[in-house]
Structure 1
């Protein structure tokens, strides 16, 4: 049963990330395709773990960050005799996009509890926003698939929609505020499975919630999560939670299914005059 708050509601919107937060439990679609895009474009190998490190950034920026990674960057220079250039980034990005569009459907299942959560939030009068590191071309495909499964946010802002840029800047989250006609950024909650996504919410002046067991830092498949015992879950929480706390997240929970109790806590803080 969803907890009920006794305070006067002040929250207006919850803004969710996509992969690792609402769909694609372990955020495998983008990470595996970065591995494949580097290999296809240049015959260059990166590991899944390396591909995960910049998760949360826009995909162009993600490729740039991999070129500066302390492990990936030197290997690139050894193989090609020069650092990763903007032309290289463009070539890898152009390999990435069709692969992502082609395969995003295989990772479009909603995370358990996500759909019922959104339905409950809408019954409470909250608006549903979303931001993503995916480009619009990928999101058009993904949103069509999730709409058939019952999930379509009131607005979705993509990494390539805004001239100002994407995460960790506040611009995508603030675009949601504008599109949803929100009265105060402190009445919004940003939920994300990545540190750049938490920074996005903080920079926009919102409450932020990190996800410890779904998403990229945990790196679990849904089956691994469901089969894990409490000791295994605790081990991952103890590894991931400090990352979000250091980034400034106001709350850290396991998955979006645990969000209702956090929203009550935020409502209580707002009622006391507290702000993010």
Structure 2
């Protein structure tokens, strides 16, 4: 068996160290209606499409309680729509600031190209968000062949396999076990598992870690090691096939999987 295609996530995996852009936008959009939400509340459902994610946040008991205390009613679908549109405009205005490729990605692209391994993405972004991200990534040499949003799968996003299956189909890969899904959230791993793909969780700069590069660098070696172990544990708990510290390790991992087995 050998890896024929790699399907990446975007924020926190290939760009936007720490997956900061969506967090900032979620917090600002809810703050604009007088509701404070924590990073932990946001991050538990990262990897979903953004509209579904807004619904998840607004249905959290703490948010429902705060909303009722503030407005004397529970939030409605119209409220969800309003927050989503505000979130989207905030994200679109800031997304370019968070578009830098994560460490190791340039070498990953070179490796995949040299080894004729196809690559694409599935994402919680919508087409409008992707339209801003793609040229920023392209300027840095990262040009995925296919980029699948839930709008292309009848609104079915992660953790269902639909987006990953469509990406594989468009790359003309018929055997799902030759597809590698690389992501930075639990929903990425579940998406890969549900599509029968090989799953890889990235630790540094991931949504699960949640720190910017500067914030992570200020930690002591002991603190960094503890945080990495915690994130790795979360991937292990959902059965990720492989866990890498950073994208720097991905080419060697693919090499080891693609190495022919020889009898001694």
Q: Normalising by structure 2, report the TM-score.
A: 0.93
Aligned CA-pair RMSD: 1.8
What are the Cα deviations for residues 183-225 of structure 1, in whole angstroms up to 9, with x where unaligned?
A: 3110000000000111111101100011122221111211233
| Aligned counterparts of 1:248 and 1:192: Cα–Cα separation in 2 | 13
Match of 1:136 in 2: 127
Note if contact 2:35-2:66 (Cα within 8 Å) is conserved in structure 1: no
Match of 2:59 in 1: 68
State yes or no: 1:187 paired with 2:178. Answer: yes
Match of 1:162 in 2: 153
2:120 aligned counterpart, secondary structure: strand
Match of 1:87 in 2: 78
| Aligned counterparts of 1:92 and 1:184: Cα–Cα separation in 2 | 40
| Aligned counterparts of 1:267 and 1:69: Cα–Cα separation in 2 | 44
| Aligned counterparts of 1:189 and 1:63: Cα–Cα separation in 2 | 28
State yes or no: 1:209 paired with 2:221. Answer: no
What are the Cα deviations for residues 150-201 of structure 1, in whole angstroms up to 9, with x where unaligned?
A: 1110111123332041001001111111110013110000000000111111
Q: Normalising by structure 1, report the TM-score.
A: 0.89
Note if contact 2:111-2:251 (Cα within 8 Å) is conserved in structure 1: no
Match of 1:250 in 2: 241
Correspondence for 1:38 among 15, 30, 33: 30
- Shift in alpha-carbon separation, 1:196–1:82, aligned structure 2, 3 A: farther
2:151 aligned counterpart, secondary structure: coil
Consecutive unaligned residues of structure 1, counting only runs of 5 or more, are 1-8
| Aligned counterparts of 2:162 and 2:103: Cα–Cα separation in 1 | 29
State yes or no: 1:223 paired with 2:214. Answer: yes
Match of 2:47 in 1: 56
- Shift in alpha-carbon separation, 1:245–1:82, aligned structure 2, 3 A: farther
Match of 1:103 in 2: 94
1:238 aligned counterpart, secondary structure: helix
- Shift in alpha-carbon separation, 1:70–1:240, aligned structure 2, 3 A: farther
Match of 1:4 in 2: none
- Shift in alpha-carbon separation, 1:264–1:82, aligned structure 2, 3 A: farther
What are the Cα deviations for residues 94-120 of structure 1, in whole angstroms up to 9, with x where unaligned?
A: 111111111100000000111111111
1:175 aligned counterpart, secondary structure: helix
